[in-house]
């Protein structure tokens, strides 16, 4: 059942079918990422883990002489074909690196990197440097992007609190039945506080609008990975003005735990 049908059924339960169009008009598009294991993963595809596809001769990302673990990459041409207003660049590769263990202490943005490679042509698989610890070498899975809808993260109006929170709780339960919360764009799932607010507070970057670049849930079944206390979520976000300008050097990483 699609998100619109789910909302329609919940509103009908509350005797509010007449509100269907108003509620559906507020839905926000997002990209859900479905892991898929492949015997022979393809070249220059969106993926989690494994080896990054990288330009020959370009230096691998380091911090204080240590290579950063590779998290994931997006083949942006796969995103461009999705029917939505996408702030990400239309082509190339968006690569995510992060020393997740370093997030447990005082945060240093040098411990992560998001790099946009303007073209996917000529890239080759870059072996993970030997210095990267075994626990930070993540298994490789193809990521299949699909557009879905989600409710906006807003404060309910007076008199609508009970209905709104019931709607959110029931939709959340339905989403959990479909799988883990691996996502790009839309609104991130906050386990401790609003993720965008955490980005503003921790980074000191007081941009009003932020973009969810990548959200990865703890997922032993499909990604064979856990974050933090085994129920955490790893999130990469950047100011919207930066993303529209094609820059990712002010990306902020938040790891929240359930």
Q: Is the pLDDT of residue 243 over 90?
A: yes
How many structural domains is the chain composed of? 1
Distances (CA, A) of 58 to 44, 54, 61, 69, 117: 16, 7, 9, 16, 11
224 compared with 172, residue with greater pLDDT: 224
Q: Torsions phi, psi of 72, nearest 5?
A: -165, 170
Q: Domain with 149 in it: what CATH number?
A: 2.30.320.10
**Rounded-to-integer distance, Cα 215 and Cα 130, Å:** 27
25 confidence band (pLDDT: 50, 70, 90): low
104 compared with 198, residue with greater pLDDT: 198
Segment 65-90 shows an average pLDDT of 88
pLDDT tens, residue by residue, 123-162: 999 999 999 999 999 999 999 999 888 776 655 555 556 6
pLDDT tens, residue by residue, 154-193: 555 555 566 666 666 666 565 554 557 899 999 998 888 9
How many residues are there in the chain? 258
pLDDT value, residue 84:
67
Residue 98 structural domain: 3-257
pLDDT tens, residue by residue, 27-43: 788 899 999 876 666 77
pLDDT value, residue 83:
61
3-state secondary structure (DSSP) of residue 44: coil
pLDDT value, residue 235:
97
**Rounded-to-integer distance, Cα 110 and Cα 249, Å:** 10
Q: How many CB atoms lie within 10 A of CB 155?
A: 8
Q: Is the pLDDT of residue 65 over 80?
A: yes
């Amino acid at each position: 059942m699609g998100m619109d049908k789910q909302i329609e059924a919940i509103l009908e339960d509350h005797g509010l079918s007449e509100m269907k169009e108003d509620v559906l008009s507020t839905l926000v598009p997002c990209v859900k990422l479905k892991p898929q294991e492949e015997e022979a993963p393809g070249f220059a595809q969106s993926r989690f883990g494994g080896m990054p596809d990288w330009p020959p001769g370009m230096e691998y990302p380091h911090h204080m002489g240590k290579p950063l673990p590779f998290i994931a990459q997006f083949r942006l041409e796969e995103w461009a074909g999705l029917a939505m207003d996408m702030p990400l660049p239309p082509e190339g590769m968006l690569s995510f690196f992060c020393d997740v263990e370093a997030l447990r202490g005082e945060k240093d943005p040098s411990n992560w990197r998001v790099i946009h490679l303007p073209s996917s042509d000529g890239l080759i698989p870059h072996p993970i440097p030997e210095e990267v610890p075994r626990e930070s070498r993540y298994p490789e899975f193809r990521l299949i992007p699909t557009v879905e809808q989600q409710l906006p993260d807003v404060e309910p109006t007076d008199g609508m609190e009970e209905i709104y929170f019931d709607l959110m709780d029931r939709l959340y339960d339905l989403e959990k039945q479909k799988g883990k919360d691996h996502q790009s764009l839309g609104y991130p799932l906050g386990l401790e506080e609003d993720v965008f607010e955490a980005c503003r507070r921790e980074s000191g970057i007081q941009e009003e609008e932020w973009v969810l670049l990548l959200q990865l849930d703890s997922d032993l079944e499909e990604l064979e990975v856990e974050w933090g206390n085994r129920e955490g979520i790893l999130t990469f976000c950047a100011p919207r003005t930066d993303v529209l300008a094609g820059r990712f050097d002010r990306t902020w990483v938040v790891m929240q735990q359930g």
